[in-house]
Amino acid sequence: MADDKALTPRSEDFSAWYNEVVARAELADHSPVRGSMVIRPWGYGIWENMQRALDDKFKATGHENAYFPLLIPMSFIEKEKEHVAGFKPELAVVTHAGGKELEEPLVVRPTSETIIYHMFAKWVQSYRDLPILMNQWANVMRWELRTRLFLRTSEFLWQEGHTAHATEAEAEAETRQMLGVYRSFMEEWIGMPVVTGLKSESEKFAGAMRTYTCEAMMQDNRALQAGTSHNLGQNFAKQFDLKFQSEAGSEEYAWNTSWGVSTRMVGGMVMTHGDDSGIVVPPRLAPTQVVVVPIYRKEHERAAVVEKAWHVRAALDAMGVRTKVDDRDHLNPGAKFWEWERKGVPFRIEVGPKDLEKGQLCLVKRVRAEGEDRKMFLPEDAVISSLPERLEAFQRELFEAARARREANSHRGVKSLGELNEILDGPGGFVYTGWSGDPSVEARIKEATRATLRCIPDPDFRSDRAPEKCIGGEAPSKMEVMWAKAY
């Protein structure tokens, strides 16, 4: 590993900075299998906190967890034509097992719609069996050619929600509800503001009727698709004979939804909040929210300061603050400071012999607000009692800073292709324009700029004044859309 002090500045090479901070924060490492990653304990601890918060939200909206097989018959994948066309280049296929060639190849799941709706069809007979509201925490495999830890790997962890409903209106309400769940989680827990909206036909999920998305802006002004929610209509129900007898006695096909977020959110967190010292973990997600470092120069000072460090930890633990004491003997305090700094721990407490004499603690915040002291020497009781609120305040500050950065790099009222190109080739960001809905305009802009139509924004994110003309020429605009280069 390169010298920690040689961390590439974000302004110099954002991609290199990302790769370095992920490694140095010990979030993940490359595995011997191309394109796969090993998630290390610090990175997995962040993912676990994401899981817990999301799982609580899913259960609060009536969903239950289940588990479905890793291997899916190839014939299932091929039943839905759009689905197989969308995923075929990325499929990993098992052709031999037990020393013999299989009668039918098995696909390592790229997503589970097919196997899940096959099972739903066995379980549903009547409208009384609906809705089915299920979620699965699992791994999936999509054979990616170009990979980057967390952002795009061949195998990754995620959750995938799958539901079945009696009416299109219920399915649409479910799709929108789960998009809202994702938005609230991303903003309240990751501190990552998102723009929600509808994907264009060319960008929607393979096999979906409609796809809604959460689009976040990273510090290099590129977009990250952080989560999606799909109204699948009756496409999969018809392929897998998922029918029910309605209350009126007629036989109907069910309406399905699916929705998912993945370990990609860890990468989004890194690129939203990290700085040139390392990653910054929002307090709600941090496996360790406060690290306590005892400092002593002489061996006879050790016992007292270490005892005080553990006393502080016990007090904070009792208040629900996740705290760790770093009393490793083989590292000096400076090395410990740097390690926890690059791992993004929100607060550090230092305690030494002079602090014991004065009844104080030294409190260090990972990122200072404007005008805030880097180090604060405060009475011990004041530090301990104030930390829960300080953590929540830090959480809010990270979100507000990210939102302000997004708004500063959002460009509205763009009317010409020249202006669109100039922004996307220069500073980048989110560019809002009018669009006629003509897919040829979308394709032309994508080819010319390497940017994509990220979404048709929800009302919360639309301009105060609707664009009158399409960005592609003189045609009238039917909607406002948002363009960006993306991961």
| Per-residue pLDDT tens over the stretch 204-221 | 998 999 999 999 999 999
* pLDDT at residue 34 tops 90: no
What share of the chain has pLDDT > 90, as a percent? 92
Please give the average per-residue pLDDT across 342-350, as a whole number: 98
Q: What pLDDT is attached to residue 369?
A: 79
* pLDDT at residue 82 tops 80: no
Q: What pLDDT is attached to residue 484?
A: 98
Q: What pLDDT is attached to residue 29?
A: 97
Residue type, 469: K
Only one residue has tokens 């996307």, namely 424
List where CATH 3.40.50.800 sits in the chain.
290-390
* pLDDT at residue 83 tops 70: no
pLDDT-derived band of residue 87, with 50, 70 and 90 as boundaries?
A: confident
* pLDDT at residue 85 tops 90: no
Kindly report, residue by residue over 306-319, the tens digit of the pLDDT: 999 999 999 999 99
Q: What pLDDT is attached to residue 4?
A: 57
Q: What is the mean pLDDT of the chain?
A: 96
* pLDDT at residue 348 tops 80: yes
List where CATH 3.30.110.30 sits in the chain.
410-484
Q: What pLDDT is attached to residue 2?
A: 42
Q: Which fold has domain 290-390?
A: Rossmann fold (3.40.50)
* pLDDT at residue 419 tops 90: yes
Which CB contacts under 8 angstroms, 24+ apart, belong to 26-31?
A: 26/343, 27/149, 27/150, 27/266, 27/270, 27/279, 28/149, 28/150, 29/149, 30/149
Kindly report, residue by residue over 168-185, the tens digit of the pLDDT: 999 999 999 999 999 999
Helix (H) or strand (E) holding 73: strand 71-73
Class of domain 410-484: alpha beta
CATH number assigned to the domain with residue range 4-273, chosen from the 4 options 3.40.50.2300, 3.30.930.10, 3.40.50.720, 3.30.460.80: 3.30.930.10
Helix (H) or strand (E) holding 386: helix 380-408
Q: Can you read off the two tokens belonging to residue 471?
A: 């960005």
Q: What pLDDT is attached to residue 144?
A: 87
pLDDT-derived band of residue 464, with 50, 70 and 90 as boundaries?
A: very high
Q: What pLDDT is attached to residue 1?
A: 39
* pLDDT at residue 150 tops 60: yes
In terms of pLDDT, which residue wins out, 370 or 155? 155
List where CATH 3.30.930.10 sits in the chain.
4-273
In terms of pLDDT, which residue wins out, 335 or 371? 335
Q: How far apart are CA 205 and CA 256, in angstroms?
A: 13
